[in-house]
Chains A and B, each alone.
Chain A
């Protein structure tokens, strides 16, 4: 069955062209021209991935993104104008997994869509990871902190897994981009920084003084299994 993509974009021509490119790749596309109809279609059509334009006539893309995250763990890509660099961080903070700056080459969008869907579809090998009071259940997906289950997005989970499988090994931002997002060097290292921040907010006792995911200045990040 074809995977279903929700495309929220207010400019009809851009939306149609993007939809055509995705349909041509074999995806089923659900189109919405504003935030509220996007959210309605999310509930009705249960898409596997969402592509959101930031500039929408009613609710802005970030708000839509936060709303989707409250209800669902599906991969989200947002589209932003190149000049608004602040948008990138705000968008990632709102819970998006990836972003593209307009104008983008359709091939680029399709590559990202494919990478994200593949990651979200694949069932992780069962591993048991114990980092302080944070543990990842071997049966997949469930993360507990002090015994209480906490909910992570797929990307956050993959990031924790990648770091946690080899505690104390330092991963550069580039290698995390490659392992977690499937990008080569040219990915944006802010993806890593923002996701680490979001992950810390969920698993650290005091996110301002992390003890599980540590920053190694000038090099990258590592997970610590010291209690």
Chain B
């Protein structure tokens, strides 16, 4: 079974720090309050006992003197004592009694005090009369079986104590709140560098590899920040090495491939002069050389984008004419509809986007009902490429623009695609400030929508 603490441990450190602070604040406040409360109360009560003792001694002496002179006039004693004030008096004589207050009866005398007085001693005891606490003094008087009791009210002390108690509770709350606030501050200060590291890690994961954290302190958190920076640096260098490797390999492949391409096209032009088996060989060579060349070009483009070296040439572009030209160049009969849409963009990149999507629609979208529609709305312009094809499974849809992703592993090799086309189209759309969305209702036709900002001026250069 999990302890309740485990729950907090699994939550935030901030919460745990706050809870610890609040708990210690609360405990401290309770201890201080209890100590203060009882110290003050016992002090006040002691004071009261001292002053009451003095008054009682006077009262008892007075009563004895009075009884000595006017024998057995206990009534007179009580009424005289009543005039002195500050206490309630009661004389108990056997089963009879006289009191200065109606609420005072012999029952109010605590048994232990009664016993003490019965043994001819003077004493006091705390007790309760009705709802108020009282300090009861008892003393024997000369006639046998006659005792004098004096009750001093402690109501004023109790009132003081209740005010004090309220003040202590308020102060206690204040202490708890202050601890919580303090915990937030202290926790924040400790945790901020951690949050920074974590946010930086997030950014690195999103691909912002140049992200670093500012390591200000030399404590454990500072060491963490420094280690993080080292790791990010190493990671960035590793990726850069890999990217450069791919770029270099592609570059080296380029020249021999272009020779191969030229030579194989030459052979292809003369395929009719070859015997049938060689004819097929020529076709295979020509096809795969073309595929290989496309792969190398795509790798070059990807590595150029990754290196941040992609140059965008802004110029005025008319989308419908561009789409028609692309379709014509691909030697397709695809219809292109929509109004004239003029925007600032990079013609070559847009061409590659549209060519990729149209090519994709024919290679993977079944090739039926392929159509291109251009349009504009709300400051954006769109190029929509749709097919009548078999659709894309939902789990593949979200990976469509991943590099080297193939929705249909068994078939794509046959088409010569290597899964970079859509990724490159997406990167190009992103470079132009736009995006590509793919929609494919289960089993239905697939629609690729290129959304680009409609610009009349090239965008400001980012510094």
Contacts and interface: CB of A to CB of B under 8 A. Distances in A.
Nearest to B296: A103
B313 A85 contact: yes
A186 B325 contact: yes
B117 to A, nearest CB: 115
A107 B331 CA distance: 15
Interface in B237-287: 254-263, 265-266, 269-270
Interface string A98-114: 00001111110000000
Contact of B266 (A20, A85, A185): A20
B351 interface: yes
B316 A106 contact: no
B164 interface: no
A21 B265 CA distance: 8
Nearest to B269: A24
Contacts of B254: 102-103
B372 to A, nearest CB: 14
Given A14-B255, A174-B321, A106 B304 contact: no
A185 B258 CA distance: 25
Nearest to B313: A85
Contact of B261 (A82, A105, A218): A105
Contacts of B257: 103
B258 A14 contact: yes
B316 A218 contact: yes
Contacts of A104: 258
B265 A106 contact: yes
Instruction: Report which residue of A13, A16, A82, A185 has the largest number of chain B beta carbons within 10 angstroms of its beta carbon.
Output: A185
A17 interface: yes
Given A21-B265, A105-B265, A186 B259 contact: no
B221 interface: no
Contacts of B261: 103, 105-106
Contact of A13 (B256, B304, B322): B256
Given A103-B293, A186-B325, A189-B315, A14 B259 contact: yes
Contacts of B309: 83
A11 interface: yes
A21 B266 contact: yes
A185 B325 contact: yes
Contacts of A16: 259
B345 to A, nearest CB: 12
Interface in A1-60: 11, 13-14, 16-18, 20-21, 24
A107 B258 contact: no
A145 B351 CA distance: 41
Contacts of B144: none
A20 B262 CA distance: 8
A14 B257 CA distance: 9
A184 interface: yes
A85 B311 contact: yes
Nearest to A104: B258
Nearest to A20: B266
A210 to B, nearest CB: 20
Contact of B265 (A11, A102, A107, A185): A107
Contacts of B133: none
Contact of B304 (A20, A24, A83, A107): A83
A184 B325 contact: yes
Nearest to B309: A83
Interface in A103-127: 103-107
B359 interface: no
B462 to A, nearest CB: 18
Contacts of A107: 265
A21 B262 contact: yes
Contact of B263 (A17, A85, A102): A17
Interface string B314-339: 01100001101110110000000000
A186 B262 contact: no
A201 B64 CA distance: 139
A193 to B, nearest CB: 9
A186 B351 contact: yes
B347 interface: yes
A185 B322 contact: yes
B297 interface: yes
B262 A102 contact: no
Contact of B347 (A18, A20, A82, A189): A189
Interface in A149-193: 174, 184-186, 189
Contacts of A105: 261, 265
A104 B297 CA distance: 11
Contacts of B262: 14, 17-18, 20-21, 106
Given A16-B259, A24-B266, A103-B297, 20 more contacts: A11-B255, A14-B255, A17-B258, A20-B263, A20-B266, A83-B300, A102-B254, A102-B258, A105-B265, A106-B262, A106-B265, A106-B266, A174-B321, A184-B325, A184-B329, A185-B325, A186-B329, A189-B315, A189-B347, A218-B316
- Interchain residue pairs A-B with the least CB separation, the first 4: A185-B325, A103-B258, A17-B262, A17-B259
12 contacts: A16-B259, A17-B258, A17-B259, A20-B262, A83-B300, A103-B261, A103-B293, A105-B261, A107-B265, A174-B321, A186-B325, A186-B326
Interface of B: 254-263, 265-266, 269-270, 293, 297, 300, 304, 309, 311, 313, 315-316, 321-322, 324-326, 328-329, 347, 351
Interface of A: 11, 13-14, 16-18, 20-21, 24, 82-83, 85, 102-107, 174, 184-186, 189, 218
